[in-house]
Amino acid sequence: MTSSTKRKIINKFVLSLSTIFAIIGVAFLFWILFVLLKNGFSALSVNMFVEDGAPPGTEGGGLRHAIVGQLILAVGATVLGVPIGILAGTFVREYGKKSQFADLIRDLSDIMMSAPSIVIGTFVYALLVAPTGGFSGYAGITALAIMMIPIILRTTDDMLGLVPNSLREAAIALGAPKYKMILDVVYLGARVGILTGILLGIARVAGETAPLLFTSFNSNFFETDLAEPIASLTVTMFNYATSPYEDWQSLGWGAALILAGFVLGLNILGRIWLSFHHITRKKILKKRKR
């Protein structure tokens, strides 16, 4: 057997093995989606969106309190985490560049992205919950924002790095100060990638349960006061799905479907936005060539 024939055999074997495992992975994914859709759609109703939680065994009951609470936590974390993440990424790329301090921030950001969410939850618990003596929406927002910041930081850093230095040099040559160059030139060139990173960051924290158990805890009532424990869709789903009551289990499947649809929708929206930008950019470049 020649070496060329041997390489071809090994190549076909590895390719076949990779294909088989890829099919297995996709099969598990479709299995999960099938079970989720089957049980989730049967639980969906109008009452789920307009009524709050009810004791088990009673008629009615919904997830309005959890849906609103989840939106409050997600929006609050976005308002807190996005500016910090973008500004930190801007500093690392535009001001820190290849300095040791900038590399340290990048390394810490990578570590934070891989840190278990429950560790961040216990950290915020020790920082905000234990000293104040009670769970609160503020603690939940802080925990989710801490998880969101490293994702947006790294995405912003990478996207700003893709902007050609010639654009920066041209702006500075025209007399623009550095902050103006960053705002009007660099951000403009990287806006799609930064927005995609923001959407991915929101999708990442939208499905978290562990940090909220230590921070905002949960509530079976409609609550908008961030100084008090506040309901979330993830914790409510966990409590309902693991309960022995069939009506709560049904609501748990409905909550899982809503949450999965929200996270999937954000990811699809980010990819559609990115694809639309690439198509539009190609059309503009073709017109300029003409």
- Domain for residue 54, yes or no? no
- Residue 123 and residue 220 share a domain: yes
Say what the pLDDT of residue 69 is: 93
Distance CA 256, CA 89 (A): 33
- Domain for residue 60, yes or no? no
- Residue 139 and residue 15 share a domain: no
Provide the number of structural domains found in the chain.
2
- Residue 260 and residue 213 share a domain: yes
Say what the pLDDT of residue 77 is: 95
Q: Judge whether 207 and 259 are in contact, CB under 8 Å.
A: yes
What are the average pLDDT values for consecutive 10-residue runs of the chain, which has 290 residues? Answer: 80 92 94 90 87 80 91 94 94 89 91 90 94 92 95 92 89 88 89 85 87 91 91 91 87 90 81 72 64
- Domain for residue 53, yes or no? no
Domain at 113, CATH number: 1.10.3720.10
Say what the pLDDT of residue 215 is: 94
- Residue 259 and residue 215 share a domain: yes
Which helix (H) or strand (E) segment holds residue 113: the answer is helix 100-114
Q: Which of 234, 213, 215 is nearest to 135 (CA)?
A: 215
List the Cα angle 69/74/75 in 5-degree steps: 100
- Domain for residue 82, yes or no? yes
Which residue range is the domain that position 18 belongs to? 3-43
Q: Which of 75, 58, 12, 28 is nearest to 226 (CA)?
A: 75
Say what the pLDDT of residue 272 is: 79
- Residue 28 and residue 135 share a domain: no
Backbone conformation region of residue 156, classed left if phi is above 0, alpha if psi is from -120 to 50, else beta: alpha
Q: Six-digit token pair at 226? A: 């961030």
- Residue 119 and residue 252 share a domain: yes
- Domain for residue 58, yes or no? no
